[in-house]
């Protein structure tokens, strides 16, 4: 890993920590007085989700820029120049490390072994990108899923502030969450997997080696299975709200954080 990437990882880690502990409390208090009335455990998660939203917007929009304008990566998705992708992945790695520390420090209220396993697996997978510069297109493409995270977090914010599920803002956010989640996680699957299959049997694919090949394909399959399950739950919940039907609350966690997020609906995989 080059000095630049290490600097970005460390800078992101510190920056997200400062956003969580220094910037989020006064900013959130200015946005809504309800923030100050939350119990301590919810204050912690509120700040965590605000950081999650900021991270998601940064890497998600950066991802779109790379997909649209980085000709080197688009021309060679396996071994193209990974400079910009490495920068985006380094930001995400800094966020994952920050989130692991946050979970460890608040394990009694926020601890979740699933998130820990997810974060460690994501760091391992993205390590291939940062150290070997492989699969830049595919690693970056996966980060587009982060664009659904702000809507998932906003759903939690409304719930924490005790907005009724029938409130217009809650309904609009729920519909937007379902639409964006579908667009960035489900609708892109055919295009993504067509690009994956197009690499099979090529010299570029063989150069990866078995370790990178297995880590890449298995993580993608697992993530897309989770995305389909989460899409089903989101659609079911959205349908119940729009039709006014009761029933069990549908939990969509990320991130997670993802996770897809605790971020957290877990997203960070290449």
Using one digit for the tens of pLDDT, what is the confidence trace for 104-113? 999 888 878 8
Integer-rounded Cα radius of gyration of the chain: 19
pLDDT at 13: 97
pLDDT at 248: 44
pLDDT at 14: 97
Could you give the count of Cα atoms lying within 13 Å of 91 in the half-sphere of its Cβ?
A: 21
SS3 category, 143:
helix
Entry pTM: 0.85
Quote the CA–CA distance of 130 and 91 in Å, as a whole number: 11
pLDDT at 207: 92
Distance of CA 47 to the CA centre of its chain: 16
Residue ranges of the chain with per-residue pLDDT less than 50: 247-270
pLDDT at 245: 66
* Owner of token pair 């460890």: 104
pLDDT in tens, 11-39: 999 999 999 999 999 999 999 999 999 99
pLDDT at 246: 53
pLDDT at 269: 41
Distance of CA 254 to the CA centre of its chain: 8
pLDDT at 187: 95
């Amino acid at each position: 890993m080059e000095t630049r990437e290490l600097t970005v990882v460390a800078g992101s880690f510190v920056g997200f920590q400062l956003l969580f502990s220094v910037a989020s409390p006064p900013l959130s208090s200015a946005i809504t007085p309800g923030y100050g009335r939350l119990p301590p455990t919810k204050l912690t998660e509120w700040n965590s989700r605000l950081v999650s939203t900021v991270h998601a917007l940064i890497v998600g929009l950066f991802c779109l820029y790379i997909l649209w304008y980085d000709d080197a990566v688009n021309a060679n998705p396996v071994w193209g120049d990974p400079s910009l992708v490495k920068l985006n992945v380094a930001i995400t790695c800094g966020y994952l490390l920050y989130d692991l520390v946050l979970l460890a420090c608040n394990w009694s209220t926020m601890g979740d072994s699933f998130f820990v396993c997810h974060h460690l697996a994501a760091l391992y997978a993205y390590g291939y990108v940062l150290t070997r510069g492989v699969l830049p297109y595919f690693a970056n493409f996966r980060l587009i899923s982060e664009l659904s995270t702000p809507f998932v977090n906003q759903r939690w914010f409304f719930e924490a502030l005790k907005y009724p599920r029938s409130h217009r803002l809650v309904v609009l956010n729920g519909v937007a969450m379902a639409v964006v989640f579908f667009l960035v996680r489900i609708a892109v699957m055919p295009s993504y997997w067509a690009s994956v299959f197009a690499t099979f049997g090529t010299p570029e694919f063989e150069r990866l080696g078995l370790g990178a090949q297995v880590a890449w394909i298995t993580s993608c399959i697992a993530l897309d299975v989770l995305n389909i399950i989460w899409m089903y739950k989101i659609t079911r919940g959205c349908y119940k709200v729009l039709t006014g039907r009761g029933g069990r609350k549908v939990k969509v966690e990320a991130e997670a954080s993802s996770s897809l997020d605790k971020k957290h609906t877990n997203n960070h995989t290449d």
